[in-house]
Structure 1
Amino acid sequence: MFRAGKGARLLVALTAAMLALAGCGSDEDQASGDNTGPRDFKLWHYEGPTSAMGVAWNAAIEEFKRSHPNVTVKFEEKGFEQIQKTAQMVLNSNDAPDLMEYNKGNATAGLLSKQGLLTDMSEEVTKRGWDKLLSPSLQTTCKYDERGIMGDGKWFGVPNYAEYVLVFYNKDMFAQHGIQVPTSFDQFVAALDRFKQAGVTPLAVGGAEYPAHQIMYQLALTKADRGWVDRYQRYTGDVDFHDSAWSYGANTLAEWVQKGYIDKASTSSKAEDMGISFISGKAPIMISGTWWFGRLQTEIKNFQWGSFLWPSKMSAGSSGNIWVVPTGSKNKDLAYDFINITMQQQNQALLGNSGGVPIAADPNAVTDPATKTLISDFNTLSKQDGLAFYPDWPAPGYYDVLVSATQKLINGSASPDQVLDEIAKPYQENRANLGG
């Protein structure tokens, strides 16, 4: 057998060491966490520390630190509006984070993917098996085509929770007025009327932000189907903003204001004002999203409350906000490792027990009864193909359009037909720009 001399052995050893050092910089080794040099990992998200996602992701940060002892995590909590308004500018600069929570949909993640600001994660998604954890309806908000339209194309984001719009109700006020939990839309309207007849304004609403236009969308969905949603959200066909669904949504919202189910003063109320009204026991009903659930559990002390599905087959909802990896990320491998921790069952169970809707948890690991109901209702909605996404998603800047138009509907400064014309114009312009 050939035996190398001492000098040859030293050369071999030095060569091997150099190759090992070079290997530490490879994407494959970094992606598996096999790196030894000190690095900084910059993470942004906008979930409060006591929210379900905040609790779970803070635990994920601690787990990440344990598994990456030579990495310094630089976490920055941002506001939703802050990231929404500055993402394009930040991601075009040297200040881009390595991983960021971002809003999903054509107008947000889709727009950034089209502009080349987000990393195509398709290969990593398959490699790590994240695609196996997400149902087809949840995958819709992860994939975007070359036009930035969701549903097809490459993976530019990954969620680890889901969300949907539902009805929160004050059990004590329902019992006080002899009102049963409605199981149909007619029963729901009857409950609103019963409260109003008793001198109680039934709905807490935030007209200056998303809640009001989500209610209008919810009303339209009572007359809609999957084809209607896909035409509107994914540009699969023509959209008539004066069809039976949109007309019903706008006219009914205006009617609810006239009947006193919604206070006209809510036109200047923000989402926070709406939440405080319900939390303080002033309003018996709040139509909003599961993102409120953890906070309600923490802050409501003086009455019993519960939730039920919006009484229709469809409701606004989707995957939660998505993890995106900016193109300018300097540590994509670390970003993938962190995402992977949030997808593990231990972290998913923590998210569920903290009031969130996990997408990959063992149901038996979620122990809180109220959360079990929340997750069960989501599963019901998902199984009946009832996730209808959100009304502001189709076009950039559409959120502000919907807020403004719905405010006019509440304060009576525009008719339902005028409001529908107002929201139709920018939508059709955006569709024309996309060549749709």
Structure 2
Amino acid sequence: MNTARRIVAVGAALAATAALLTGCSASGGSSDPNTLKLWHFEGQESAMGIAWNEAIKTFEKETGAKVEFEEKSFEQIRSTASQVLNSNEAPDILEYNKGNATAGLLASQGLLSNMNDAVEKYGWDKDLAPSIATTSKYDENGIMGSGDWYGIPNYGEYVEVYYNKDMFAQYGVAVPTTYDEFEAALQTFVDNGVTPLAEAGAEYPIGQLFYQLALTKADRSFIDDYQLYKGDVDWQGPELSYAADTLKEYVDKGFISKDVTGIKAEDMGTTWMSGKAPIMVSGSWWYGRAVTEATSFDWGTFLFPGSDFAPGSGGNLWVVPENAANKDLAYKFIDITMRPEIQNLIGNNGGVPVKADAADITDPKSQELIANFNTLLDDDGLAYYPDWPTPTFYDQLVAGTQELINGTKKPNDVLTQLGDQYQSGVDDITGK
């Protein structure tokens, strides 16, 4: 097993928290064999929060055990996972982000339980489409797509186009079905003095748009090379060159505000949900909020035109720490979250279930959301996310796209920089 990059990645954090962990035992979870200690970071009113609360009730009723639930923030879990999961503070089960730099990293460090036996017992491998299961399995180096099962998602997510139907009607714009029509729609809004795209260059959204543009020129081989290291990635090739050139054109043509580099994801979302921009290209995770907050106009969604692929995957994973005291209870809880009644709750509250009965999804907008996701699944169209390949690539991608947008570097120079950073990170992971 290659452990060099793990030591570098967590060394500083371990040193900073060593004093806090002194004297901690090697086993975590609840000390009570009839209590399941559970962490997740979904809001209580979100689709997953609603569904998982119901799963907790079912679990307690059927097992007689109690759930000790603690809501943590995404950042709390992300920044402390390596330390906490190696201490007696670890829960029995938690929600954790998927991908090489996150779940893969913890799996390679020996901090997550191998779930192969539980997968066979409960049949979860039959519930998950191959493109979703990819993020559940990791090899000894923490690379997703093969090896052992270390996590189970019970919902999906993907990037799509949110649009303001009222603004489309006001300016005579039809829902585009091709990429040329999409660009023509953007130009129509600009011609009428409207900046069409709500975006955020200070956080993840602009990187996902960059990747989505590359995907309009990509095939599955490109995605496998980029995400799974099956081949070399040409950072000056047609996919990424097109993405960089086009993103710069979006700013030059006024499709995106020139001050986008200072805008965060929350501000992007509230801009669109308040009716100030006709289009937002972002994830299904906004859907539940849009239902409750985008109430001043009619809206809908569609898949990004001209692409067979979209950034997306199975949702975050249920993982069980290797030091968990109550693993069997954890697996029982996971299985309850896969039941149709819990899956249907996710689907009817703005989430994307992986195993819902379509006939039981009654909300029209939810039906649209799930239909788009199923289209991607049927076409093997989930392409994962652009920052996944290495632990440091999120920040590097944000910085690179900011330089591209503000013009401090030319597109090919940004691609050279990103390519070097990407390859360095991949080499650390693969040991090359």
Same topology, TM > 0.5? yes
Question: Cα offset for 1:66?
Answer: 1.7
Structure with greater Cα Rg: 1
Q: Which residue matches 2:161?
A: 167
Determine the structure 1 residue equivalent to 2:431.
435
For 1:26-425, list aligned pairs within 5 A. 39-69=34-64, 71-311=65-305, 312-425=307-420
Equivalent-residue separation in structure 1 for 2:89 and 2:370 (angstroms): 37
Q: What's the CA shift for 1:398?
A: 1.3
Alpha-carbon distance in 2 for matches of 1:88, 1:407 = 30
Distance apart, 1:67 and its partner CA: 2.0
For 2:249 and 2:312, the matched residues in 1 are separated by 25
Task: Supply the distance in 1 between the matched residues of 2:256 and 2:395 (Cα, whole angstroms).
Answer: 21
* Residue identity in the other structure for 1:113: A
Q: CA shift at 1:200, angstroms?
A: 0.4
**Following the alignment from structure 2 to structure 1, what is the Cα–Cα distance between the partners of residues 408 and 349?**
42
Contact preservation (8 Å) 1:118, 1:327: yes
Q: Following the alignment from structure 1 to structure 2, what is the Cα–Cα distance between the partners of residues 40 and 373?
A: 39
**How far apart, CA to CA, are the structure 1 residues paired with 2:79 and 2:269?**
23
Alpha-carbon shift at residue 411 of structure 1 (Å):
2.0
CA shift at 1:101, angstroms?
A: 0.7
- Shift in Å, 1:324: 0.6
Would you say the 8 A contact 1:204–1:283 is kept in 2? yes
Post-superposition CA distance 1:295-338 (Å, at most 9, x none):
10111211000000011111111111111111121111111111
Give the count of matched residue pairs.
Answer: 399
Report the secondary structure of 2:45's partner residue.
Answer: coil
1:38 Cα offset (Å): 5.9
CA distance in 2, matches of 1:236, 1:162: 24
1:166, distance to aligned residue in structure 2 (A):
0.3
For the residues of structure 2 that align with 1:57 and 1:161, how far apart are their CA atoms?
11
The answer on whether the counterparts of 1:212 and 1:406 sit within 8 Å (CA) in structure 2 is yes
The superposition leaves residues 355-380 of structure 1 with CA deviations (integer Å, 9 ceiling, x where unpaired) of 11111111111111111111111111
For 1:422 and 1:398, locate their aligned partners in 2 and report how far apart those are by CA, in whole Å.
11
Which secondary structure does the structure 2 equivalent of 1:193 belong to? helix
For the residue of structure 2 that corresponds to 1:107, the secondary structure is coil
* Aligned-residue CA RMSD (Å): 1.2
Secondary structure in 1 aligned to 2:158? Answer: strand
* Contact 2:33–2:325 (CA under 8 A) maintained in structure 1: no
- What is the TM-score of this pair, normalised by structure 1? 0.89
Identity %: 59
Q: TM-score, structure 2 length as denominator?
A: 0.90
CA–CA separation in structure 1 for the residues paired with 2:75 and 2:382: 24
CA distance in 1, matches of 2:153, 2:100: 16
